[in-house]
Structure 1
Amino acid sequence: MTIEDDDDQAASPSRQRKIIHIDMDAFYASVEQRDNPDLRGKPVAVGGSRERGVVAAASYEARKFGVRSAMPSVTAKRQCPDLIFVKPRFEVYKAVSQQIREIFAEHTPIIEPLSLDEAYLDVTENLQSIPLARDVALAIRAKIKEVTCLNASAGISYNKFLAKLASDHRKPNGQYVITPEMGPAFVETLPVGKFHGIGPASSAKMNALGLYTGLDMRNQSLEFMQTNFGKAGVYYYWISRGVDNREVRADRIRKSVGAENTFFTDLTEFDTMVAELQPLIDKVWQHCEDKGARGRTVTLKAKFSDFDIITRSRSLPVAVSSRAELQRVSVALLQNETPFSKPIRLLGISLSSLQADQAEPQLGLPI
Structure 2
Amino acid sequence: MADHARPGPQQTVQRTILHADMDAFFVSVELRRHPELAGQPVVVGGTGNRGVVAAASYEARRFGVHSALPSAIAKRRCPHAVFLPGDHEHYGEVSRQVREVFDRYTPLVEPRSLDEAFLDVTGSLKLFGDGVTIGHRIRDQIRDELDLGCSVGVATNKFLAKLASVEAKPRALTDRIEPGEGVTLVPADGAQEFLDRLPVKRLWGVGPATLEKLERLGIATVKDLRLIDLPVLSTAIGANLSGHLAALAVGADDRAVDPEREAKSIGHEETYPHDKHTPREMTRELVRLADAVARRMRKQGVAARTWQIKVRFAAGFTTITRSVTTGDFLDRAPDILELVGPVLDAIDPSPGVRLLGLSGSNLGQPSAQLTFDDLDESTPDVAATTDAMDAIRERFGDRAIGPASAVSGGKLKTVRRGAQQWGPDEDGAAR
Q: Same fold (TM over 0.5)?
A: yes
How much has 1:212 moved relative to structure 2?
A: 2.8
Match of 1:278 among 280, 287, 294: 287
Residue in 2 aligned with 1:190? 198
Q: How does 1:1-367 map to 2 (within 5 A)?
A: 10=8, 12-126=10-124, 129-172=127-170, 174-220=182-228, 228-306=237-315, 308-316=317-325, 318=327, 320-323=329-332, 324-341=334-351, 343-352=352-361, 354-357=362-365
Q: How many residues align?
A: 350
How much has 1:306 moved relative to structure 2?
A: 4.2
Alpha-carbon distance in 1 for matches of 2:290, 2:213:
36
Distance 1:319 1:120, change over 3 A: farther
How much has 1:11 moved relative to structure 2?
A: 5.8
How much has 1:220 moved relative to structure 2?
A: 4.0
How much has 1:179 moved relative to structure 2?
A: 0.7
How much has 1:72 moved relative to structure 2?
A: 1.3
Alpha-carbon distance in 2 for matches of 1:91, 1:128:
37
Query: Which AA in structure 1 matches 2:283?
Result: V
Q: Which runs of 5+ in 1 are unaligned?
A: 1-7, 360-367
Instruction: Please give the root-mean-square deviation of Cα atoms over the aligned residues, in Å.
Output: 2.5
Q: TM-score, normalised by structure 2?
A: 0.74
Alpha-carbon distance in 2 for matches of 1:21, 1:11:
19
Alpha-carbon distance in 1 for matches of 2:328, 2:117:
28
Cα distance per residue 1:296-336 (max 9 Å; x no partner): 44333333334513131314154642333433444333322
Q: Over alpha carbons, which structure has the higher Rg?
A: 2
* 8 Å CA contact retained: 1:158, 1:179: yes
Distance 1:56 1:187, change over 3 A: same
How much has 1:188 moved relative to structure 2?
A: 1.8
How much has 1:282 moved relative to structure 2?
A: 3.3
Q: Share of identical aligned residues, percent? A: 38
* 8 Å CA contact retained: 1:22, 1:152: yes
Q: Which has the larger share of helix?
A: 2
Of 29-38 and 330-339, more deviation after overlay is shown by: 330-339
How much has 1:260 moved relative to structure 2?
A: 1.7
Residue in 2 aligned with 1:5? none
SS of residue matched to 2:346: helix
Cα distance per residue 1:202-231 (max 9 Å; x no partner): 323433454332123212455665663454
Distance 1:121 1:358, change over 3 A: farther
Q: TM-score, normalised by structure 1?
A: 0.86
Alpha-carbon distance in 2 for matches of 1:23, 1:123:
16
Alpha-carbon distance in 2 for matches of 1:242, 1:103:
29
Of 157-166 and 177-186, more deviation after overlay is shown by: 177-186
Of 304-313 and 180-189, more deviation after overlay is shown by: 304-313
